[in-house]
Structure 1
Amino acid sequence: MGEPKPRVSCASSSTTDSSAASPLPSPPPPPLPRHQPVTLVQPSQKKKNKTKVFRVFRSVFRSFPIITPACKIPVLPGGGLPDPYRGSSGSRVTGTLFGYRKGRVSLSIQETPRCLPSLVVELAMQTMVLQKELSAGMVRIALETEKRADKEKIRIMDEPLWTMYCNGKKTGYGVKRDATEEDLNVMELLRAVSMGAGVLPGNSEAEGPDGEMAYMRAYFERVVGSKDSETFYMLSPEGNNGPELSIFFVRV
């Protein structure tokens, strides 16, 4: 049996217009756009002037090791991480960790939330696994690559591939990539967010109807230890006992 047809009631029977008696169905509304128009701007290329005293302090700080080849980061007796660089030569950037809950998490580094990403790395860890690690309180991610003579003129952040460790355990490989359309859409949606965590509507075609994009955004202090090491320390708001996150990029 066919489905019952919906009844059409007429407000008045005095009209003789056939279109009023048999109204045509209105066209469906257009679908909402999946992607936001990108309004992010290019990061600035200006370099800050450094005084002679500042350069002396930086050269001293460079003598401190950030990380050893086996990813054995020194830990203080109380469980804290010694941060000889913090508060010295660091510059503040915006870092965003995002990804589908059952997919790999990505790291985006921006000069400000309104700039295009200067670095996007796909990490060797599922988003929900990283969330579990962060709930424990302290996460140290190390991305290591080998030193070679042909890499002397390559910036460490331009390396295409790193071996990844999380809290001392090898998890796989981190891969640098160009920002995809979906990456830019996430950054555009979070354009007004400086710090925070939450979920964004996911791509139901790729992840199913329950797919959600989880994200965590914060300010990071970027410290250049040497040409072979850069570190990003997540900055927490004053009085906030949130998770501690440090990300190390190093040639060993």
Structure 2
Amino acid sequence: MPKIALGTTREASQPDCIRALAVEFITTFFFVFAGVGAAITADELGGNTLLGLFAVAVAHALVVGVMISAGHISGGHLNPAVTIGLLFGGHITVFRAILYWIDQLLASSAACILLKYLTGGLNTPVHTLASGVGFLQGIVWEIVLTFALLFTVYATMVDPKKGSIDGLGPMLTGFVVGANILAGGTFSGASMNPARSFGPALVSWNWTDHWVYWVGPLIGGGLAGYIYENFFIIRTHVPLNSDDTF
């Protein structure tokens, strides 16, 4: 079982960490900009229709694949749930994970603020539960969808024995994000990403059901990372360098 490295505050001043945070901000910014921009466009052109949902799913699938590839320096997390999944697998320290979370939330907020300005103040759609979908149902939706996302990340990019799919991880991860939006978008919103939900909620100042999009994705991401690392990856795990582990 991999140990979770706490890390130290010295990481924040290391050049590789600074570069990683810069890249993570840029890639998360463009991911949210494209994803939320597509949602605004779909909302303006007809609201919650099948065509609008398909357009949003395709936009997210494409931008996820590209931004993960572009963000190879930071790992292209784009998502606190991905970060916690990799943390539970022992691939990132606790301290750096916290820095990534802050970075991702700032990038999402900046992207949504810019979109609000560029669209002349159009409504920014937020993730909320559909009518008839309870809190528990919404949380389970987000757990299942985010588990699928992180399982794909591990199977296609983290697992050293990924075989013939080596190099296709970002594209395949984008595919599962798009498929999950088509499956769950009508019910829970299919966020799978607390940062993706945070920016729109902040600029709209609409926090309805917002906690669901933290609880569900973080549980799903953490479970997937822990399970895949401990049950499907066969190797001698070398913990991250740290002054303190637990």
Greater RCO, CA 8 A, separation 6+: 2
More helix by share: 2
Query: TM-score over 0.5 for the alignment?
Result: no
More strand by share: 1
Q: Which TM bucket (shorter chain)? A: under 0.3
The alignment's TM-score, normalised by the length of structure 2, stands at 0.25
The alignment's TM-score, normalised by the length of structure 1, stands at 0.24
